[in-house]
Structure 1
Amino acid sequence: MNVRNLTPAHLQACLALDQASLGGLWTTAQWQSELADPRRPGMGLWQADNLVAMASGWLVLDELHITLVAVAPEQRRRGLGRQVLEALLAEARQQGARHATLEVGVTNAAAVALYRSLGFQDAGLRRGYYRNGEDALIQWLRLPPINDAEPGCG
């Protein structure tokens, strides 16, 4: 498996994984915008020619707002979400992000556990945030400066 930046050439793969994993969260037009905008980094984890996990976000000044993490249903509980999310956080740091934020459904125990294991902390609650009326936890993470994370530096 390998991780690489998502590009407009990956539109069909992103649409397919979005549909399989999230029930079609974004439209074709939304995906086209996501994949074309350099301030909206996206990372995909590929197994041969199959996109099995992806994560994307929006960079606003020094903050990464994580908009999506998806893993193919048959590939879940194997650490792929962590792998692609870590790649997205690393890419955002390279582009100058110092913080990351996201919303996650309060009942999505697996995702909440993943985010907390990466250091995200609860910062608030958005009532009725999702289409189904579920509340969302707002979570934040301070990203260490690049030099702090490199062996032998600091």
Structure 2
Amino acid sequence: MISIKKINEKDIDLCYELDSNTISLWSKKQWAQEFKKEGIRVFGVFFLKTLVGICVFHVVLDEAQINFFAVNQKYRKKGYGSHLMRYLIKQCEDSNINKLFLEVSQTNAIAEKFYSRFDFSTVGIRRNYYMDGSDALIKEKKLTTK
């Protein structure tokens, strides 16, 4: 059974573990700092009671930025990421958010394809943004709000 639940500070160890096993974006300290930021929302997708994916997004007025989106490698291409993204989009629409942003490495073709399925379009580029020298593509999705 798939479920999506809000994640809070007490789950930092779970977040850090999933991050370490996927994209290795943040240290445990950075995870703790993320939870303290104003406007941060964190959701996890679970299979039974196992956390298989996380989405962290930051709401500012009527826009949101996805700061972290990852699914455990062994659960990829099984619909968990799509389930989580649909949930995120619905949450944003219900909150009257007009635009959703994210950034992704130009070298990450799998993520690019995934985000394009949800109508994210490239609206900017940050040159040499990542440590490997690759560019970050800034993606935007315009939302329909109520």
TM-score where L is the length of structure 2? 0.91
Distance of 1:35 and 1:64 partners within structure 2: 15
Q: How does 1:115-130 map to 2 (within 5 A)?
A: 115-130=115-130
Deviation at 1:66, TM superposition (A): 0.7
Distance of 1:92 and 1:28 partners within structure 2: 27
Q: What's the CA shift string for 1:51-107, capped at 9, x where partnerless?
A: 101111111111111111111011111121121122222223333311011111112
The one-letter amino acid of 1:84's match is L
Distance of 2:13 and 2:39 partners within structure 1: 21
Aligned partner of 1:13 in structure 2 is: 14
Aligned partner of 1:26 in structure 2 is: 26
CA contact (8 A) 1:41 1:91 kept: no
The one-letter amino acid of 1:31's match is W
Distance of 1:99 and 1:50 partners within structure 2: 31
Change in CA separation of 1:38 and 1:96 when aligned onto 2, cut-off 3 Å: farther
Q: What's the CA shift string for 1:120-139, capped at 9, x where partnerless?
A: 11112111111221111111
Given the alignment of the two structures, is residue 105 of structure 1 paired with residue 105 of structure 2, yes or no? yes
Deviation at 1:9, TM superposition (A): 2.2
Distance of 2:50 and 2:134 partners within structure 1: 31
CA contact (8 A) 2:94 2:145 kept: no
Q: What's the CA shift string for 1:24-70, capped at 9, x where partnerless?
A: x1122221233344611111001233210111111111111111111
Aligned partner of 1:144 in structure 2 is: 144
Report the 3-state secondary structure (helix = DSSP H, G, I; strand = E; otherwise coil) of the residue aligned with 1:59: strand
Tell me how large the CA RMSD over aligned residues is.
1.5
Distance of 1:31 and 1:93 partners within structure 2: 26
The one-letter amino acid of 2:68's match is L
Distance of 2:59 and 2:95 partners within structure 1: 8
Q: How does 1:45-60 map to 2 (within 5 A)?
A: 45-60=45-60
User: Which ranges of structure 2 fall in alignment gaps of 5 or more residues?
Assistant: none
CA contact (8 A) 1:42 1:88 kept: no
The one-letter amino acid of 1:13's match is L
CA contact (8 A) 1:106 1:135 kept: yes
Distance of 2:95 and 2:56 partners within structure 1: 14
Distance of 1:58 and 1:15 partners within structure 2: 18
User: Which ranges of structure 1 fall in alignment gaps of 5 or more residues?
Assistant: 147-154
Question: How many corresponding residue pairs?
Answer: 145
TM-score where L is the length of structure 1? 0.86
Identity, in percent, stands at: 29
